[in-house]
Amino acid sequence: MYNQWYPQNKNELNKILDEYMSEKPKLKASKIEEIHGIIVPHAGYEFSGAITGKAFSLLKNKKINKAVILGPSHYVGFHGLMVLEKIETPLGKIKIIGNYEGFETLKKLEYEHSLNNQIPFLQKINSKIEVLPLVVGEILETDAEEIAKKLLENKDTLFIFSTDLSHFLSYEQAIKTDKQTIKIIENLDFKRTGEIDACGRFPLMIMMHLCKLKNWRPKLIEYKNSGDVTGDKSSVVGYGNFVF
């Protein structure tokens, strides 16, 4: 099932992906070589596609055959993780990594946009990429640490964490709130994870433990909110992209 968050025409989708991935952030070559994962938003492409594409542009020349994507559940409430069993976009079907023992499968939905919105970008990097798409429900800090350890069993894998930041605040308040969240993420401040204002707070908790275990450090590439895109600053959603 295709979602309605991006163009459904293959040619149109290819064109807009090329546009979004054409601008590469200014990072040191050594930093690009050391990328183990990214954090990207998942709103409709007209709102956050350029922010997402800028992070994925850093991966265009890297050999990536497998990716693990973690995003929050927007449609079903549950505790823990579930695997999205099938994903298809206008660019084709995606192969799901077969080894996901210990994770339940999500049979109630055919898609979750926090995951699906990342797939076309990955298909532009490698049309034959294998993906483990994990929908994250409510978890505890101890759960996040255990999940991070299990994820690291996947070798030679890119990690993608999907989240938007604050929702429906005024433009000025969103900037202030999102700065606090960005600081918590970059500093791996576990004492303040409860203060993270983002729909993907639970996936971010996993990311922080993943980084702690591997001595990685998230770095913000760019921050914007929907007010910067649409001009309507009365009620906005925050978007940030990171590498680690």
Q: What is the pLDDT of residue 134?
A: 94
Q: What is the pLDDT of residue 75?
A: 87
In angstroms, what CA-CA distances link 232 with 12, 167, 170, 222, 229? 26, 14, 10, 20, 8
Higher pLDDT, 234 or 97: 234
- Mean per-residue pLDDT for 140-148? 95
- Mean per-residue pLDDT for 41-58? 96
Residue 1: pLDDT band by 50, 70, 90 thresholds?
A: very low
Nearest CA to 46 out of 72, 20, 22, 71 is that of 20
Q: What is the pLDDT of residue 2?
A: 45
CA distance linking residue 24 with residue 16, whole number of Å: 15
Q: What is the pLDDT of residue 85?
A: 83
CA distance linking residue 104 with residue 94, whole number of Å: 19
Q: Please state the domain extents for the chain.
A: 38-124+136-243
Residue 193, pLDDT > 90, answer yes
- Mean per-residue pLDDT for 163-172? 97
Nearest CA to 70 out of 167, 219, 206, 199 is that of 206
Q: What pTM was computed for the model?
A: 0.93
Residue 234, pLDDT > 80, answer yes
The CATH number of 38-124+136-243 is 3.40.830.10
Q: What is the pLDDT of residue 26?
A: 79
As a whole-number percent, the residues of the chain with pLDDT over 70 amount to 91
Residue 99, pLDDT > 70, answer no
Residue 213, pLDDT > 50, answer yes
